[in-house]
Chains A and B, each alone.
Chain A
Amino acid sequence: MDLYLILFYFFAIITLVSAFFVVTTRNVIYAAFNLMLTLFGVAGFYVLLGADFIAIVQLIVYVGGILILLIFGVMLTNKITDTDIKSGFLNRVPGLLIVGTFAGILIGTLLKSTWRIAAPLPPPVAGLVGIGNLLMTEYTLIFEILGAVLLIALIGAASIARKQSN
């Protein structure tokens, strides 16, 4: 068995098991930490695919940023001594319907699409330099718009957080 495959299954198991727990656990904190594992597993897939940069960005943005913020929020809003940090099940029927439809679509595409299994992997884009070039040439507009959106979000956050001067 190839080491690559072993690692792949390792990450797959981590991702799937932790994702399962994210959904099923009734404790929001547990869900958050399991989500961290899930994101790690996904980052592992990126590494296996040769996309180091994406994997690292995944870690920085999702684990280091969003997830920490999530945990922060949960911790700030709940009393620590209580155990009422729980999530429950609501609207089971519509939820099941939506999930079922979505899963059906996904499985359908999975079965219908043709997979190039034996094809050799394309040589990975030359890391950082390639991404930089792409961002500055082909995807400049998107890049700039995203930057502007983030800037607006930043200014908005700052203005909300700011004390009223009068």
Chain B
Amino acid sequence: MIYDSLIELLKWLSITGPAASAIAAFINSIFPVVFIIPFALFAVYLERKVSAHMQDRLGPMRVGWHGWLQSFADILKLIQKEDVVPAQADRWLFNIAPVLAFVGSYAAFAAIPFTSTYVGSGIDLGIIFIVAISSLVVASLLMAGWASNNKYSLLGAMRSAAQIISYEIPTVVVILTLLCVTGTLSLYQLSENQTGNIFNWMIFGGYSGGWQKFALIPFMLVGMVILFISTLAEVNRTPFDIPEAESELVAGYHTEYTGMKFAMFFLAEYANMFAVSAIVSALFFGGYQSPFGYVGKLLGISWLVPFEQLFWFTMKGMFFVFVQMWLRWTLPRLRVDQLMNMCWKYLIPISIANFLIVAFLMAL
């Protein structure tokens, strides 16, 4: 664990006691930022490229080779922009909301294991913690929507809150299903357990031996699909982007935001996308585990393993982010009633049935 080695390092620098643990905790919690910001820059670029190529366009081509510096240019532009606060807006909440949105999505990374040597917090309720902390995002969206004092913003915020709350239910039920199979809620533990090879991943029935492993496969698949759909809805992405439906609500809750505050929302959105992808991959696709062995282990270079794990973690996360983009440019937006229908009439009953069947199988 990086935290422990940091403590060791600080001890070597003759810093001990609460100061040492505070410094170590601070440095420890910085890592996700170091990961998220480059990721967000890349994801924005990827989004534009994927959308462009799916529509037979080229996307950004001007800044740098094939436009790879486009995101940096965008950030530069956003930094320079005037920070506009609407005259009738509630200044306090208006300014706090984007920060809170990013805090909420950033806090989720505390429970996500990046490698076997790094996880922000060793909390053994990791996945439930993520579900809990995402309520902060809901609060921040409502805050932004209300503080903007704009009908579109408020409508977007309300829709978004209703959507996130509704879709939390199937998410939690699928998580319960997995809890039933694995007996742990710690994403770190879950990822650690899925080591070995690709057939130890939860999508292939997990690491438990016996006939249940094979019996579980279809239900794991159903669970994975439900989890993916509901988390997609929780991050407000197409086809579930009614909170920021451009054709109806301008931009939803961040209509009134400009410059860096808008960038915060944007960053939060992409951080959420990755967090959700990381959760899906940690729950069903082995998290940071390699689908086959590690080169580091093969060569006896132990320090190589975490880097390989980081690579696989990033790749899996990226893959699901790509699938999210893929879906975005494939499917049209759902109507509000369709959205609620899908959640309450399809996802929740199916996930509960799935849960009961899995519980039954595990009890046998």
A adjacent to B, CB under 8 Å: yes
Residues in A lying within 8 Å of B, measured CB to CB: 1-3, 6, 29-30, 33, 36, 52-53, 56-57, 59-60, 63-65, 67-68, 71-72, 75-76, 80-81, 127-128
Q: Is the interface of A mostly helix, strand, loop or mixed?
A: helix
Q: How far is the CB of A110 from chain B (nearest CB, A)?
A: 28
Complex Cα distance, B168 from A68, in Å, reads 13
Interchain CB contact under 8 A, A33 and B125 = no
Cβ–Cβ < 8 Å partners of A36 in chain B = 139
Cβ–Cβ < 8 Å partners of A60 in chain B = 128, 131-132, 135
Interchain CB contact under 8 A, A52 and B124 = yes
The residue of chain A having its C-beta at the shortest distance from the C-beta of B19 within the complex is A3
Complex Cα distance, B77 from A20, in Å, reads 41
Residues in B lying within 8 Å of A, measured CB to CB: 18, 21-22, 88, 90, 93, 123-125, 128-129, 131-136, 138-139, 142-143, 145-146, 149, 151, 154, 157-158, 161-162, 165, 168, 185
> What would 11 more interface pairs be, CB under 8 Å, given A64-B138, A81-B88, A127-B125?
A1-B18, A6-B22, A36-B139, A56-B128, A59-B132, A63-B135, A64-B131, A68-B161, A72-B158, A75-B146, A128-B124
Complex Cα distance, B137 from A59, in Å, reads 12
- Given known contacts A6-B18, A75-B158, A128-B124, A33 and B143 CB-to-CB distance under 8 angstroms: yes
Q: How far is the CB of A42 from chain B (nearest CB, A)?
A: 13
Interchain CB contact under 8 A, A59 and B93 = no
Cβ–Cβ < 8 Å partners of B157 in chain A = 75
Name the one of A2, A65, A75 contacting B18, with C-beta atoms under 8 angstroms: A2
Interchain CB contact under 8 A, A80 and B146 = yes
Complex Cα distance, B241 from A57, in Å, reads 28
The residue of chain A having its C-beta at the shortest distance from the C-beta of B148 within the complex is A80
Name the one of B125, B128, B136, B146 contacting A63, with C-beta atoms under 8 angstroms: B136
Cβ–Cβ < 8 Å partners of A72 in chain B = 142, 158, 161-162
Listed from nearest, the 7 A-B pairs whose CB atoms lie closest are A64-B135, A59-B132, A3-B18, A56-B132, A60-B132, A63-B135, A71-B142
Among A30, A53, A56, max chain B CB count under 10 A is at A56
Q: How far is the CB of A105 from chain B (nearest CB, A)?
A: 33
Interchain CB contact under 8 A, B124 and A127 = yes
- Given known contacts A52-B123, A52-B124, A80-B151, A3 and B136 CB-to-CB distance under 8 angstroms: no
Instruction: Count contacts between A and B, CB distance < 8 Å.
Output: 79
Q: How far is the CB of A133 from chain B (nearest CB, A)?
A: 13
Among A57, A76, A128, max chain B CB count under 10 A is at A128
Q: How far is the CB of B153 from chain A (nearest CB, A)?
A: 9
Interchain CB contact under 8 A, A33 and B135 = no
Complex Cα distance, B133 from A87, in Å, reads 29
Interchain CB contact under 8 A, B165 and A68 = yes
Complex Cα distance, B169 from A137, in Å, reads 26
Cβ–Cβ < 8 Å partners of B134 in chain A = 64
Name the one of B90, B128, B154 contacting A75, with C-beta atoms under 8 angstroms: B154
- Given known contacts A36-B139, A80-B146, A80-B151, A128 and B18 CB-to-CB distance under 8 angstroms: no
Complex Cα distance, B184 from A127, in Å, reads 11
The residue of chain B having its C-beta at the shortest distance from the C-beta of A64 within the complex is B135
Chain A to chain B contacts (Cβ below 8 Å), 23 pairs: A2-B18, A3-B21, A6-B18, A30-B93, A33-B139, A33-B143, A36-B139, A52-B123, A52-B125, A56-B132, A63-B139, A64-B135, A64-B138, A64-B165, A65-B135, A67-B139, A71-B139, A72-B158, A75-B157, A76-B158, A80-B151, A81-B149, A128-B185
Among A2, A59, A67, A81, max chain B CB count under 10 A is at A59
Cβ–Cβ < 8 Å partners of A53 in chain B = 125, 128
The residue of chain B having its C-beta at the shortest distance from the C-beta of A56 within the complex is B132
Q: How far is the CB of A99 from chain B (nearest CB, A)?
A: 28
- Given known contacts A3-B22, A68-B161, A75 and B142 CB-to-CB distance under 8 angstroms: yes
Cβ–Cβ < 8 Å partners of B135 in chain A = 59-60, 63-65, 68
Name the one of A3, A29, A128 contacting B146, with C-beta atoms under 8 angstroms: A29
Cβ–Cβ < 8 Å partners of B149 in chain A = 80-81
Interchain CB contact under 8 A, A68 and B142 = yes
The residue of chain B having its C-beta at the shortest distance from the C-beta of A6 within the complex is B18
